[in-house]
């Protein structure tokens, strides 16, 4: 098949996750918090799709997220492509039909992406760096606590969309047993 329907499903589900994060952040603005819960958006495309479909889906999702967040354009796209390429090369090691491995990967990717965005946002200036560090650590802990509950829901949501749109629900290559 030249075009995989799952890539469109993954792109639109990533857009839904982005807008869910933006809604949560606009709701808690009074507390001065800014959560980053986009870790699950990085996971399913490299684990389920072929390399060309993964690249296109990740590129479009990354550009969509980059245009919505106040960070230098291309930061999320590069993070998604780099982490997705590593996951795509080692995807036979992960059991993606359950939620355990994708949830752990989402936590790890969310931590790496959050730290990268923190360093990029404050331009590594050490004057503001130490002032904003305690608040950012609290935001990271809160983001990861929310992500514990959000990532299994999001992965099941994506699999349900695969079934709803009658797309192939199994990954391209399952792990060795």
Q: Where are the domains of the chain?
A: 5-27+37-164
- Would you say residue 128 has pLDDT above 80? no
Residue count (the chain) = 177
Judged by average pLDDT, the poorest of 38-47, 88-97, 125-134 is: 125-134
More confident: 18 or 136 = 18
* Token pair recorded at residue 51: 């390399």
Judged by average pLDDT, the poorest of 50-54, 81-85, 152-156 is: 50-54
Mean pLDDT of the chain: 86
> SS3 of 34, please?
coil
Kindly report the pTM of this predicted structure.
0.88
Cβ atoms 174, 26 nearer than 8 A: no
* Token pair recorded at residue 12: 């639109």
User: What number is the average pLDDT over the span 91-116?
Assistant: 87
- Would you say residue 65 has pLDDT above 90? yes
* Token pair recorded at residue 163: 């079934």
Quote the pLDDT of residue 70: 86
Quote the pLDDT of residue 34: 87
> SS3 of 172, please?
coil
Rounded CA-CA distance 142/129 in Å is: 19
Reference 101, options 112, 110, 91; nearest CA is 91
The share of the chain scoring above pLDDT 90, in percent, equals 52
Quote the pLDDT of residue 108: 94
* CA-CA-CA-CA torsion sign (159, 157, 143, 41): positive
pLDDT band at 177; cut points 50, 70, 90: very low
């Amino acid at each position: 098949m030249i075009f995989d329907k799952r890539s469109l499903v993954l792109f639109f589900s990533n857009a839904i996750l982005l807008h869910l994060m933006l809604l949560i952040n606009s709701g808690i603005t009074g507390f001065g918090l800014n959560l980053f819960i986009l870790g699950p958006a990085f996971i399913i495309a490299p684990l389920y799709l072929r390399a060309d479909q993964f690249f296109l889906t990740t590129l479009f999702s990354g550009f969509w997220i980059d245009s919505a967040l106040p960070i230098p354009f291309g930061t999320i796209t590069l993070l998604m492509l780099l982490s997705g390429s590593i996951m795509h090369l080692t995807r036979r090691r992960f059991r993606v039909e359950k939620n355990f491995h994708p949830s752990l990967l989402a936590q790890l990717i969310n931590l790496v992406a959050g730290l990268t965005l923190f360093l990029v946002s404050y331009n590594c200036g050490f004057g503001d760096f130490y002032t904003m560090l305690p608040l950012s650590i609290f935001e990271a802990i809160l983001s990861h606590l929310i992500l514990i509950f959000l990532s299994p829901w999001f992965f099941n949501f994506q699999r349900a969309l695969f079934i709803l749109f009658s797309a192939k629900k199994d990954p391209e290559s399952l792990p060795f047993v």
